Amino acid sequence: MISFNFYSPEQKISFPDWGKKTIYVSIKRDDMIHPFISGNKWRKLKFNLERALAENKNHLVTFGGAWSNHILATACAGATFGLKTTAFLRSDPGINNPLIAMCRLFGMEIIYTDRTEFKNKQVLFDKHFSNNSNAYFIDEGGHGPLGSKGCEEIIASLQESYDHIFCACGTGTTLAGLQHGVAASGLQTVVHGVPVLKGGDFIHDEVHKIYPSDPVATLHTGYHFGGYAKTKPELLRFIEKFVSNTGIMIEPTYTGKLFFAVNDLISQDYFKPDARILVIHTGGLTGFLGMYERFNLDLGQ
């Protein structure tokens, strides 16, 4: 097993919008796990790293977009554990940004890939690494059973009991792990997913592929704000208010939509009185750097 110590407390929070409502909200601060391998990024990498090392693989190969926190986490993990890293980047050649620069600093090789070729990742991997027995395939975002297995550990680590647990969803990997952890522990907790892209009902199918016999989680599909990495003014205003009132950073792609959904459900009295709610903060805060200009911030200009 690999050694990686981290801190991820359950932090109780309050928010002005909740007024006198008798609900109790805590955040699982997985964003505090590591500066670069934070949130569910570490959870989804953990068992992939262990598998790679067990198979004597020394080269991690993964996939993502130009602002992928998973790619950054993989680059840092490779440097930390002495492994080579390569990322196929779904982007035009020559595109650069602070996240890509950090990946390169960690020693990662970047291969720019057009959207058509990117769609079939296994073919892409085979094209470049079929003759490299040391290369280990990690799907985009750490998607898959090993990623879910890492997220499942969140449930066993909890210090308190909760009626509801929420997470943001892109591929369903984190949601699958949470749902399986709850089911395996015999808990009555309701697990909720907030898809951050249009047509989020497909998440049910993705979860079922990983754990076919598990109960179906609850999805809230109306909080995508136009699609993946899309925003609307009300989302940006909410993020500004939430961050300035709690001191907890969130961003527009994943965690902003997640907390907006929880706040909206609270305002609708969706939860019974005295409900205990846990929201999983999945990190990914460097994504804010690619979207900060969308906010109405006074930057001294």
Domain boundaries, the chain: 10-37+145-294, 40-142
Contacts of 177 (CB under 8 A, 6+ apart): 43, 147, 148, 149, 150, 151, 152, 153, 154
User: What percent of the chain stands above pLDDT 90?
Assistant: 89
> In CATH, what class is 40-142?
alpha beta
Q: Which pTM value belongs to this model?
A: 0.94
Domains 10-37+145-294 and 40-142 share a fold: yes
Tens digit of each residue's pLDDT (9 = 90 or more) over 169-212: 999 999 999 999 999 999 999 999 999 999 999 999 999 999 99
C-alpha distances in Å from residue 139, one per residue of 103, 122, 143, 255: 17, 9, 5, 21
pLDDT digits (tens, 9 = 90+) for 10-25: 999 999 999 889 999 9
Residue 129 CB coordination number (10 Å): 16
Neighbouring CB atoms inside 10 A of 273's CB total 8
Q: Residue 28's pLDDT is what? A: 99
Reported CATH class of domain 10-37+145-294: alpha beta
Please give the pLDDT value at position 299. 47
Q: Which residues of the chain have pLDDT under 50?
A: 299, 301
Query: For position 298, what pLDDT does the model report?
Result: 59
